[in-house]
Structure 1
Amino acid sequence: MKKLTLFLLISCPIFAQKELTNWPAKANPLNVGKRTAERFMAVPHSRYGVTFPNPPATQITYPDVCTWLGALGFAQKTNDADLLKRLNEKTDLLLTTEAHLQPKKNHVDNFVFGAIPLAFHLQNGNQDLKKLGLAYADEEFKTLSPEEYTSLKPEVRNWYAAGLSWVTRFWMDDMYMITAVQAKAYEATKNRKYIDRAGYEMVAYLDTLQNPDGLFYHAPDVPYYWGRGDGWLAAGMADLLKILPKDNPHRPRIMKGYQDMMRVLLKHQDANGMWHQLINDPNSWPETSCTGMFTYAFIVGVKNGWLPSATYGKAARKAWIKLQDYVNENGDLTEICEGTNKKNDHQYYLERKRIVGDLHGQGPLLWCVNALLEK
């Protein structure tokens, strides 16, 4: 019997997740999820570089996408029919009175928008939403006309010729933006071309950006371990591995990249459970959006048996509880780094504004909730 119990603890992740249960009241995933989802429903669409209260949006931004998907996941996992109804109504507007907010298909950050209509199509079967989402997924890997090809930078032409998306730029944020919409297109169609694209693109980014220590520079010409930038990759790899078929040839490389990154992130978590604006600079400020993203990646790894619970579950627990200390009375997360371009300047990252309630931070809170509620 002792041998059987030990075997179950080692081989079955569900038996080894005591670190991710029995939460104090402030960190109860149900309470945090409900508060954060309702806060998302109460605020207007976000705008890049503008804090709340926002002027009218000009397009749906990727932070909106991340939080929108998180709210949908929470409504589904908790069978919250009222929240689900309101989320569906909010999404339907994208086909009618808010169709003008559909982002232009001209930048890597815009294409992730397609994940919203695809996710809601999977939930409610709306074929118009499916068509809208697939338009973004397909355009991201379209065959370029001679004129479009000529307009690309020389290095992008080479990447495109190698089978990568024409929006490839090798910034680490892209590995959430590109893979999320392609993965949702695969789920909506079961067409392997979408998930194969995502895996191939992810491996190219891993081979280009991941350093021997497991972390990623913001870009090849910007040698800084910016917290949220690395967070996009951590979350992107975790999400992709959840649905990447076991027989996909890129899976072993992505798993190695993910596990290598998780090992070094564990070393840089501070004594309070947080990660910092610059991951390897303990004198930089504790930053909440990257902490949420890394916590999410840890939880997903533990839940799926890719990471040992005793180590990573404990670290995720400490981070999740500590994050709640950064939530104000309005349900807004504080100490979120503002939107950040790349710059080869250490001080630039240290001096980024710390803002409140930005969806770059609210979204990862919901991701963590949904991962914790996963059976």
Structure 2
Amino acid sequence: MTAPTTAAPAWAPYGDASTDWATLGADTMLAREPVMNPHDKWEYEDGLMLGGVLAVHRLTGDPRYLEYVRRNLDHFVRPDGSIHAYRYDELNLDHVNNGKVVLDLYDETGEERYRKAADLLFDQLRHQPRLEAGTFWHKKIYPYQTWLDGLYMGSVFYARYCATFGREDLFDDVALQFTSAYDLTLDPASGLCRHAYDESRSMPWADPRTGWSPHVWLRALGWFAMAMTDVLEHLPETLPQRATILGNLRSLLGAVRGVADARTGLWYQVPDQGGRPLNYLEASGSLMILAAVAKGLRLGYLDDDWAGHLDHAWGSATREFLSLTDRGWVNVNKVCQVAGLGGAAGRDGSYAYYMSEPIVANDHKGVGPFLLLAAEMRRRRTG
């Protein structure tokens, strides 16, 4: 008697690296989330997502994407330039991130409401408390602390505002935000930057000698890599610190590449401890790093030897992180919902802490970099 054979299961394909993920992803947002924030909150991850939709708009010229961005942002930015649900008094860098989309719409329309809203967010930065090194505090409720996330949230907008409205006198200070944050968080032994730094050494999570948080966190590295890549576009090439930022970007990404998963080219939630139990390939940070790499290659910031890693890792990302529903909508899976330090929950920055945060799908912190990366990869493919 011949033993029965078991055929391999025939799963329907979800797509691959050649799929037009940029259009699928943007169309998904229009259909699945016509209102970007049903909780009526001014939240940084929405600006990240809208920036991704705008990247697809610039690639395709499809006016539906621009209309989606404008309709959602105009819910918050009033005709007089005030911003619904924004709290200036919190002095929170996260609240500034959406300002980049405000500037996008100002560039598109020239409408004064966007200029006034940008002025309001810029004024917050002019009054943001600082560490002794000159680096912005992350939030008023997190005194004497810099988090890598904050460079993407506040300082890219800072650079772009200065470039747009002729504040060349502040470019040195913009650059200082990046160079000081790198210096304060860099672990020379690994070449990687820690999630955060506490100047006061008073936080329970802070090393009493260095002020560092205990671990490297993938999404913090992703925020920082994207921030450095973006800010280089807005700083004049004659600014001496620009070369320093470019060198820091190359060094950091080189160290990040050194801890990539050998099979996929992607990265773990705690990226320098890939073999440790419970660690997992995380979507948002991996997509952020790849988006920074793709843009860096396009603009000549990175050497061409990154190209093979990018193409391999993008193919892996489509298999590890992306799926399509029966309606043809894109799901971005394996996203760490949130991670921070201190606060009411007493987040201690331990390995166990980073493993304990929920893993979700379709959080805008994953959707945004997916759209940015998908637009870059389509550009690479079509020229």
TM score, norm. by length of structure 2:
0.79
Match for residue 245 of structure 2 among 240, 254, 259: 254
Equivalent residue letter for 1:274: L
Structure 1 runs of 4+ aligned residues shifted over 6 Å read 97-100
Residue 118 and residue 276 in structure 1: after superposition, are their counterparts in 2 closer, same or farther (change >3 A)? same
Which residue number corresponds to residue 20 of structure 1? none
The 2-side partners of 1:184 and 1:370 are apart by 21
Shift of 1:365: 0.9
**1:88-107 correspondence runs (5 A):** 88-96=70-78, 101-105=84-88, 106=90, 107=92
Which residue number corresponds to residue 200 of structure 2? none
Shift of 1:312: 0.8
Residue 95 and residue 345 in structure 1: after superposition, are their counterparts in 2 closer, same or farther (change >3 A)? closer
Residue 189 and residue 75 in structure 1: after superposition, are their counterparts in 2 closer, same or farther (change >3 A)? same
Kindly indicate whether the alpha-carbon contact (under 8 Å) linking 1:59 and 1:100 is maintained by their aligned counterparts in 2: no
Give the secondary-structure state (helix, strand or coil) at the position aligned to 1:244: coil
The 2-side partners of 1:101 and 1:298 are apart by 35
The 2-side partners of 1:85 and 1:62 are apart by 20
Percentage of matched positions with identical amino acids: 21
The 2-side partners of 1:354 and 1:205 are apart by 28
Residue 195 and residue 28 in structure 1: after superposition, are their counterparts in 2 closer, same or farther (change >3 A)? farther
Kindly indicate whether the alpha-carbon contact (under 8 Å) linking 2:82 and 2:117 is maintained by their aligned counterparts in 1: no
Comparing 123-132 with 164-173, greater Cα deviation is found at 164-173
Which residue number corresponds to residue 39 of structure 2? 57
Deviations 1:43-67 (A, max 9, x none): 26667xxxxxxxx324221110111
Which residue number corresponds to residue 214 of structure 2? 223
Residue 163 and residue 215 in structure 1: after superposition, are their counterparts in 2 closer, same or farther (change >3 A)? closer
Match for residue 278 of structure 1 among 244, 262, 270: 270
Which residue number corresponds to residue 214 of structure 1? 191
Residue 86 and residue 178 in structure 1: after superposition, are their counterparts in 2 closer, same or farther (change >3 A)? closer
Give the secondary-structure state (helix, strand or coil) at the position aligned to 2:269: coil
Give the secondary-structure state (helix, strand or coil) at the position aligned to 1:95: coil
The 1-side partners of 2:137 and 2:217 are apart by 25
Which residue number corresponds to residue 43 of structure 1? 33
Match for residue 167 of structure 2 among 191, 215, 225: 191
Match for residue 288 of structure 1 among 276, 283, 292: 283
Match for residue 202 of structure 1 among 178, 196, 215: 178
Kindly indicate whether the alpha-carbon contact (under 8 Å) linking 1:238 and 1:301 is maintained by their aligned counterparts in 2: yes
1:359 aligns with 2:342: no
Shift of 1:238: 0.9
Shift of 1:194: 5.0
Residue 163 and residue 279 in structure 1: after superposition, are their counterparts in 2 closer, same or farther (change >3 A)? closer
Kindly indicate whether the alpha-carbon contact (under 8 Å) linking 1:121 and 1:127 is maintained by their aligned counterparts in 2: yes
Shift of 1:182: 1.1
Residue 371 and residue 224 in structure 1: after superposition, are their counterparts in 2 closer, same or farther (change >3 A)? same
Shift of 1:206: 1.0
Residue 82 and residue 344 in structure 1: after superposition, are their counterparts in 2 closer, same or farther (change >3 A)? closer
Shift of 1:102: 4.0
The 2-side partners of 1:223 and 1:211 are apart by 11
The 1-side partners of 2:87 and 2:150 are apart by 17
Which residue number corresponds to residue 7 of structure 2? none
Which residue number corresponds to residue 339 of structure 2? 340
Equivalent residue letter for 2:368: G
**1:124-163 correspondence runs (5 A):** 124-142=109-127, 156=130, 159=132, 163=134
Kindly indicate whether the alpha-carbon contact (under 8 Å) linking 2:136 and 2:146 is maintained by their aligned counterparts in 1: no
Aligned length: 328
The 2-side partners of 1:102 and 1:370 are apart by 30
Kindly indicate whether the alpha-carbon contact (under 8 Å) linking 1:109 and 1:177 is maintained by their aligned counterparts in 2: yes
Which residue number corresponds to residue 107 of structure 2? 122
Kindly indicate whether the alpha-carbon contact (under 8 Å) linking 1:338 and 1:353 is maintained by their aligned counterparts in 2: yes
Residue 229 and residue 122 in structure 1: after superposition, are their counterparts in 2 closer, same or farther (change >3 A)? same
Deviations 1:266-307 (A, max 9, x none): 111111121100011113100011110110121122222222
**Greater strand fraction, Structure 1 or Structure 2:** 2
Match for residue 85 of structure 1 among 67, 70, 80: 67
Which residue number corresponds to residue 58 of structure 2? 76
Kindly indicate whether the alpha-carbon contact (under 8 Å) linking 1:182 and 1:197 is maintained by their aligned counterparts in 2: no
Kindly indicate whether the alpha-carbon contact (under 8 Å) linking 2:135 and 2:146 is maintained by their aligned counterparts in 1: no
Instruction: Mark the runs of 5 or more structure 2 residues left unpaired by the alignment.
Output: 1-13, 139-143, 198-205, 207-212, 342-347
